[in-house]
């Protein structure tokens, strides 16, 4: 060999031996055939201690060894390479470093069998850095939750005295007063209503940030809701000399299933803003149909005005919390700047977005699209903001008021007196139970937040009483019904009223339950187990479907050794639990890339258990996202895929025990 060639060979060997990354060759039994000096230094071994004496597996923790046998090495054999897989690598002194491994297959040549070449990067610094980032993220999330919880607590505390202020304002407004006193009462009432709006916005924002907002799926009448909003804002727009138009296209279905309260809240914020920032001209609410399937419809909502408009450079700022378009706007029009933020976040919960276009001094247009399920149910009604109290006679109703706050009791009593409804009051749950032993009532107004015995406990004990006629229980608290729905159902509470409430809201509840208050309690029938299966429910399968999976490949790999087979099953169980979580995250976020990554990394686990149906469902899910299938179709696919996951997991657990 020439001297120059010798030098080049030595340089090449040095480049390999002292490369800034580890390098190791191994055979199909994972025996180390060669290893560079860099990796030896990292491990604390000499080459003589490793080459042809130790397997690559022995450098991994037990979890890594199982993963290597069941997933990593089979994948190399299948596709000839594996990129960037994380392993904890054990040094000679039993400490570990975090390694990122890339492997390629070296084909057989010159009578040499197939071998495998791996490069290893020490990512310990990056791992610790990422761990710190994760820690910081968790701390930030905890801080955000603490802030949201604090804000919710403060808002709840404000609601209690605010209920009394709002109640007294309403009562004063209905009494004989001088002109000055009428103005004072009107100012008190309007100020308390304005304060209530601010508190509601703060509370809504805190609930959204704490992820406590749940979208309901209830039937509602869209035409009634649109009419209600029009009537609500007609007075305010007329006072400013602004024309208010509401246009609902004739092909828009009236009866839908969704969350009407959230829709009303979004539109209320947009319409209120449009009227507030418009000095002359008009405000228009338009609802049109965009798309339709046999079961769902996509509607477009547009609120436009001829108001002051928004500068282009401020369009993003208006969606920030507590922000207005400018200081001058904030001074002239006031407000917290939370309305658009809340509307935007509520739409994000619907997988939608709020779009805005505006021209300074010419007006603005806000629009969004929402999918709703269609229904033929025509008994849906939307509550009105105004009630003719005299048109309804409720004198036969007997009501028990239970509240530890004397001011709240006083206000409720005054309302009931005006409506000529008979009542009795109790300041604790114990007192209420004592009264119920002597008297019967059609309806109970029950405060949830009471000392010693909460409203929930009181309701449960009322249901345990052997009463001849079981009363309707309507709870009231600073919480919304959606927040406490499950707890209400568990306690046997029929309905809920959020504090502070207007008199017409209380009357609506009384009117709603009038006529059913004397009926025999059917609660025992409600809790009987359901035997029928609805069409949209997936029946549970008690035993795994035979072709959901097959362990034949694992049995062959384990050579019928039970300990190896159980090791393979355990590893696959852990993987499938993780894959199911990743699947639901990807589908709920409609993230096709994350779903594709999941399909790639789950290939070998699913291949070895021959779960062909699960493979098909995962691919169908990806196709559904790609084709932007309807929410209904995707939800059905998610349910089916989750059912297949559960069937396989249940079967594997059973196999593990056998």
| 315 vs 330: CA distance, rounded Å | 15
Residue 443 in contact with residue 471, Cβ under 8 Å?
A: yes
- Among 201-215, 348-362, 404-418, 588-602, which stretch is predicted with the lowest mean pLDDT? 201-215
The residue among 478, 428, 477 whose CA lies nearest residue 457 is 428
Find the CATH number of the domain harbouring 193. 1.10.287.130
Name the DSSP class of 31.
B
Any residues with CB less than 8 A from the CB of 320 and at least 6 apart, and which?
A: 337, 341
Q: What is the pLDDT of residue 206?
A: 64
CB neighbourhood size of 61 (10 A): 13
| Cis geometry, peptide bond prior to residue 582 (ω within 30 degrees of 0) | no
The pLDDT mean for the chain works out to 80
Name the helix (H) or strand (E) containing 106: strand 96-106
Any residues with CB less than 8 A from the CB of 373 and at least 6 apart, and which?
A: 217, 256, 257, 258, 295, 296, 632
Reply yes or no on whether the pLDDT at 403 is more than 80.
yes
Find the CATH number of the domain harbouring 241. 3.30.565.10
| 595 vs 589: CA distance, rounded Å | 10
In a domain, 429, yes or no: yes
- CA atoms within 13 A of residue 494's CA, in its CB half-sphere: 20
Token pair listed for 464: 């345990």
Average pLDDT over residues 171-190: 74
Pairing mode, strands 115-122 and 22-26: antiparallel
In a shared domain, residues 225 and 354: yes
In a domain, 539, yes or no: no
Average pLDDT over residues 299-305: 94
In a shared domain, residues 116 and 133: no
The residue among 305, 314, 303 whose CA lies nearest residue 279 is 305
In a shared domain, residues 226 and 369: yes
Any residues with CB less than 8 A from the CB of 198 and at least 6 apart, and which?
A: 336
In a shared domain, residues 109 and 204: no
**DSSP conformation letters of 234-288:** HHHHHHTT-EEEEEE-TTS-SEEEE-HHHHHHHHHHHHHHHHHT-SSSEEEEEEE
Residue at which a domain ends, from 101, 122, 143:
122
Tell me the CA distances in angstroms from 56 to 68, 94, 100, 626, one per residue in order.
Answer: 10, 15, 14, 41
Q: How many residues in total does the chain contain? A: 658
Reply yes or no on whether the pLDDT at 365 is more than 80.
yes
Q: Decide which of 71 and 147 is more confident.
A: 71
Structural domain containing residue 408: 391-526
Q: What is the pLDDT of residue 474?
A: 92
Q: What is the pLDDT of residue 332?
A: 37
Paired with 609 in beta bridges are none
Residue 98 in contact with residue 123, Cβ under 8 Å?
A: yes
CA-CA-CA-CA dihedral for 404, 407, 411, 416, to nearest 10: 40
Residue at which a domain ends, from 374, 409, 444:
374
Any residues with CB less than 8 A from the CB of 176 and at least 6 apart, and which?
A: none
In a domain, 268, yes or no: yes
Residue 448 in contact with residue 477, Cβ under 8 Å?
A: yes
pLDDT per residue over 237-249, tens digit each? 888 889 999 999 9
pLDDT per residue over 562-615, tens digit each? 777 787 788 788 888 888 998 999 898 888 888 887 887 777 778 778 888 898
Average pLDDT over residues 146-170: 70
In a domain, 8, yes or no: no
In a shared domain, residues 135 and 118: no
Sign, CA dihedral 514-517-518-523, equals: positive
pLDDT per residue over 96-115, tens digit each? 999 999 999 999 888 889 99
Residue 473 in contact with residue 504, Cβ under 8 Å?
A: no
Find the CATH number of the domain harbouring 64. 3.30.450.20
Q: What angle do CA 300, 302, 303 make, to 5 degrees?
A: 160
In a shared domain, residues 283 and 354: yes
Q: What is the pLDDT of residue 315?
A: 65
**pTM (2 d.p.):** 0.44
Number of structural domains found in the chain: 5
Q: Decide which of 149 and 493 is more confident.
A: 493
pLDDT per residue over 537-563, tens digit each? 333 333 334 468 888 877 776 666 777
In a shared domain, residues 272 and 166: no
In a shared domain, residues 333 and 432: no
Q: What is the pLDDT of residue 220?
A: 87
Helix residue spans in 477-611 (DSSP H): 481-491, 503-513, 523-526, 552-558, 562-588, 592-601, 603-608
Tell me the CA distances in angstroms from 562 to 64, 344, 559, 658, one per residue in order.
Answer: 20, 56, 9, 10
Residue 222 in contact with residue 248, Cβ under 8 Å?
A: yes
Reply yes or no on whether the pLDDT at 534 is more than 50.
no
Paired with 130 in beta bridges are none
In a domain, 382, yes or no: no
How confident is residue 377, by pLDDT bands cut at 50, 70 and 90?
Answer: low
In a shared domain, residues 67 and 185: no
Find the CATH number of the domain harbouring 625. 1.20.120
The three-state DSSP-derived secondary structure of 427-483 is CCHHHHHHHHHHCCCCEEEEECCCCCCCHHHHHHHHHHCCCCCCCEEEEEECCCHHH
In a shared domain, residues 223 and 358: yes
Q: Decide which of 141 and 426 is more confident.
A: 426
Helix 179-209, helix 124-173: angle, nearest 10: 160
| 655 vs 554: CA distance, rounded Å | 12
Q: What is the pLDDT of residue 460?
A: 92
How confident is residue 423, by pLDDT bands cut at 50, 70 and 90?
Answer: very high
Find the CATH number of the domain harbouring 418. 3.40.50.2300
In a domain, 538, yes or no: no
In a domain, 537, yes or no: no
The residue among 44, 30, 42 whose CA lies nearest residue 103 is 30
In a shared domain, residues 499 and 424: yes
- CA atoms within 13 A of residue 610's CA, in its CB half-sphere: 10
In a domain, 202, yes or no: yes
Residue at which a domain ends, from 491, 526, 561:
526
Residue 541 in contact with residue 649, Cβ under 8 Å?
A: no
In a shared domain, residues 452 and 596: no
């Amino acid at each position: 060999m020439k001297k120059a060639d010798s030098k080049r060979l030595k340089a090449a060997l040095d480049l390999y031996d002292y490369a800034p990354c580890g390098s190791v060759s191994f055979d199909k039994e994972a025996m180390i055939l060669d290893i560079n000096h860099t990796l030896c230094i990292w491990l604390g071994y000499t080459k003589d201690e490793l080459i042809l004496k130790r397997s690559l597996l022995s450098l991994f923790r037990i979890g890594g060894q199982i993963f290597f046998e069941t997933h990593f090495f089979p994948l190399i054999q299948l596709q000839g390479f594996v990129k960037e897989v994380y392993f904890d690598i054990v040094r000679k002194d039993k400490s570990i470093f975090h390694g990122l491994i890339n492997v390629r297959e070296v084909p057989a040549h010159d009578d040499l069998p197939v071998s495998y070449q791996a490069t290893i990067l020490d990512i310990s610094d990056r791992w610790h850095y990422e761990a710190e980032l994760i820690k910081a993220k968790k701390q930030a999330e905890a801080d955000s939750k603490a802030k949201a919880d604090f804000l919710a607590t403060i808002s709840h505390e404000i609601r209690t005295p605010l209920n009394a202020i709002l109640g007294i304002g309403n009562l004063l407004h209905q009494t004989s007063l001088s002109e000055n006193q009428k103005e004072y009462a009107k100012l008190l009432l309007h100020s308390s209503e304005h304060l209530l709006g601010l508190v509601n916005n703060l509370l809504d924002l805190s609930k959204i940030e704490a992820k406590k907002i749940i979208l309901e799926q209830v039937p509602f009448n869209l035409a009634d809701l649109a009419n209600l909003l029009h009537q609500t804002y007609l007075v305010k727009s007329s006072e400013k000399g602004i024309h208010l138009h509401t246009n609902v296209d004739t092909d828009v279905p009236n009866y839908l299933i969704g969350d009407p309260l959230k829709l009303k809240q979004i539109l209320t914020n947009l319409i209120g803003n449009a009227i507030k920032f418009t000095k002359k001209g008009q405000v228009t609410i338009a609802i049109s149909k965009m798309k339709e399937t046999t079961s769902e419809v996509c509607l477009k909502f547009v609120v436009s005005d001829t108001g002051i408009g928004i500068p282009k450079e401020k369009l993003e700022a208006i969606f920030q919390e507590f922000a207005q378009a400018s200081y001058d706007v904030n001074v002239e029009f006031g407000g917290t700047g939370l309305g658009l933020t809340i509307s935007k976040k509520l739409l994000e919960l619907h997988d939608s977005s709020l779009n805005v276009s505006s021209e300074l001094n010419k007006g603005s247009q806000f629009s969004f699209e929402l999918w709703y399920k269609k229904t033929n149910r025509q008994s849906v009604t939307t509550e009105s903001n105004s009630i003719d109290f005299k048109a309804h006679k409720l004198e036969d109703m007997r009501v028990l008021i239970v509240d530890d706050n004397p001011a709240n009791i006083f206000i409720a009593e005054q309302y009931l007196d005006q409506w000529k409804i008979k009542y009795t009051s109790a300041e604790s749950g114990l007192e209420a139970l004592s009264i119920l032993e002597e008297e019967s009532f059609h309806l109970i107004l029950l405060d949830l937040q009471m000392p010693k015995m909460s409203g929930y406990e009181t309701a449960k004990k009322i249901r345990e009483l052997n009463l001849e006629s079981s009363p309707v229980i309507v709870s009231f608290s600073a919480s919304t019904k959606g927040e406490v729905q499950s707890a209400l159902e568990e306690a046997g509470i029929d309905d809920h009223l959020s504090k502070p409430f207007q008199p017409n809201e209380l009357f609506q509840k009384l009117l709603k339950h009038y006529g059913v208050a004397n009926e025999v309690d059917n609660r025992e029938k409600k809790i009987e187990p359901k035997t029928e299966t609805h069409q949209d429910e997936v029946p549970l399968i008690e035993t795994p479907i035979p072709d959901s999976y097959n362990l034949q490949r694992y049995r062959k790999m384990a050579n019928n050794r039970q300990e190896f087979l159980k090791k393979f099953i355990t590893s696959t169980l852990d993987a499938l639990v993780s894959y199911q979580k990743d699947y639901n995250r990807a589908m709920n976020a409609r993230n096709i890339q994350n779903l594709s990554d999941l399909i790639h990394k789950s290939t070998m686990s699913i291949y070895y258990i021959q779960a062909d149906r699960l493979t098909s469902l995962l691919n169908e899910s990806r196709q559904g996202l790609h084709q932007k299938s309807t929410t209904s179709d995707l939800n059905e696919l998610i349910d089916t895929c989750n059912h297949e996951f559960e069937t396989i997991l249940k079967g594997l657990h059973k196999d593990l025990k056998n």
